[in-house]
Structure 1
Amino acid sequence: MFLQSIHNYRAVAIIAIVMSHSYVYGFEDTTGFVSVLKNILTGGTALFVFISGYMFHHIFYKRYQYKSFMKGKFERIIVPYLILTSLAIPLVYVIKSGFFAPDADYYRIVFFSPDDSAFSTTIKYYLTGRMLTAYWYIPFAILLFLVSPLHFKFIELSKRTQIVLIALFSVVSIFLHRSYENINPIQMLVYFTPFYLVGIYISLYREDINKSCGTKASIFLSFALLLAFYQYIQGHEGSYSKSIFEYGGIDIMFIQKMFLSIGLYFLLETFVFKTKLTDLISDTSFAIFFIHPWVLTTIKRLPFLDHPESTNIPYYLVTCFVVIALSVLIAVALNKLLTGKVKSRYIIGY
């Protein structure tokens, strides 16, 4: 069954992800309420993972077969990743950027090493997705798909056991934190699993959970905003990250994003709307994900643009709009151009 609210949620999530990757264009050195807003925008991946968990139960559970499930993910996500990665890595090598650069910064970096050969660095880029902004998500997502039989088992557990598991995994994530530079897919899998399980849980008990959505939305979103403000007054901006076995205290961002993920769900269930623009962004969300890093890196290198060093909110918002608009246009154009055996979903997931 198609759910307009979840369709809208996907559009909100991809917009938040693009906006969080565009800070350098006038939204980097912020203070006050703008920094609080920045803490809300940062970490939008959690929203995407929440939706993925929700849809795993809502769409795949009743007809779940591991082979067909993985086949679908391979065609729409893994193949585009391999194709686009195979284009990106040679470019990074040619311009001597990233870990191909002679002066590459390996501080706190795991997996990569200054002793790596070009071939070894290439393989590690495929395994981590660190050659382009946001592409780290795919190696993590592949691991998430591979362990889908465990998610299937989770659905069949008692409600009490499900709550206990979500709580236990959440405690682990709160002290685990995200991997530094999002470079360790295994750490990211453990960290984001609670969002996936909560998405499954809410879909599973949707009828009961959806009572008094408006009130619940107000409560959860208020807590998310308060936590974002608390992060600000503590002098923290953005996600918490560390190596897997290092102690770094409590990850407030994880808690904030959990409240935000659930709060947005209730909000969008309360106010269900349908617009052509929202539907288009949602339909092309995977493509926007794959394309927007290419648009951003192109904008970064345009010689006639002078990017602001201080806060410039209009410039930032225009940049975000341009990045999303161009990503959608490219996705739609490729979808129209590529037909027959070569389909756009094998390249951009749409």
Structure 2
Amino acid sequence: MQVTCTFTLSWSLSLTMIHCNLETIPKSVGMLRNLETLILSMNNLSYLPDAIGNLEKLRILDLSHNNVVEFPAQIGKLQKLRRLYVGGKQGPSNCTIPAEIGNLSSLEKLYTIKAYKRNGNIVTEEIEKLTHLKTLTIADLKREDGVALCLSLQKLSNLCSLAIQSTDIIDLQSFPSGPPFLQKLCLHGPLERVPHWISCLYSLVRVSFVQSCLRDDPMQCLQDLPNLLSLEFSKAYEGEELCFKAGGFPRLKMLFLQKLKELRWLRVEQGALPHLVDLSIILCHNLEELPLGIEHLHNLGKFRLIGMSDSLIETLWNEYVELGRYSKIAHIPHVEITDRRYSRIGGLGTRRTTRDLVHAAALCFIDD
């Protein structure tokens, strides 16, 4: 595969070098003292020179998709830095963040950093000093890190976007209350239950649970969030049923359910999800039937059942095409259903379209 190297040095005090196979940054970079933006993503960098500390006017530093393992202490001199992007080529960065990062008093965005320990304790003191921080992504947390992390995050009152990744079950219940202005939250990793403080985050717009292994129906904790627009569960729930209560999720527009391996029934009470426009159910192989109450979703514009079991496909085909019983989904402009051999929307195969649906623009069954 041919890779294009992008090199740009603009008069707007920006230097961009993407896909240039850089392994080192020359010390002479420190001579660009007026540089405001330095983008070095998608290279092979493993360290930064001490001279990086000379770029005292730097506002944006993008080192994503590299292999940087350590920052020099001189990074603490970048008092005007607002955005710091870090991340490995295959996932979260292994980069060790020095204590001096707490000196970056203007920093607003920081991701993705890897949690690490000093003297046996997770280092959070540096993060809690970043009081202007609006976006934080932190990965590789361990079971014992949850309490310390919550105490530090409690001090970040300006936080708008938070992503936490862990392979262990971590305790996130220690928040008295979450960051008050949080709009986006992604919890990636196993949880014993939905953190109680989420129900008090009235500014939340988007919530994602990934590989959370929740056993109890999480909807009760989430259904009263007044501004929630997008909700995702991916390999995040191990129960057999999800229920959306009447009056719940008053503004939700997008619901994405993927790889909920035990899910058999989805129930929507009348008055729930009144503004839902996009419902996707992906690779939920044990789902036995269409969501009960789907006819109540009057604003639903897109409905996808992707990668369903052969038995469900056969049932739907018989009931909604051969027998003409399709009233529950006739109001939805676009419906797409595929069997379990296709893991994504638009998989290849023979497509049969039921053009006799009076009110449905497209009801697609992909079945071979």
Which band: TM-score by shorter chain? under 0.3
TM-score, normalising length: structure 2: 0.19
Which structure has more helix as a fraction of its residues? 1
Instruction: Specify which structure has the bigger relative contact order, considering alpha-carbon pairs within 8 angstroms and separated by 6 or more residues.
Output: 1
Relative to its length, the structure with more strand (as a share) is 2
- Higher Cα radius of gyration: 2
Q: TM (normalized to structure 1)?
A: 0.20
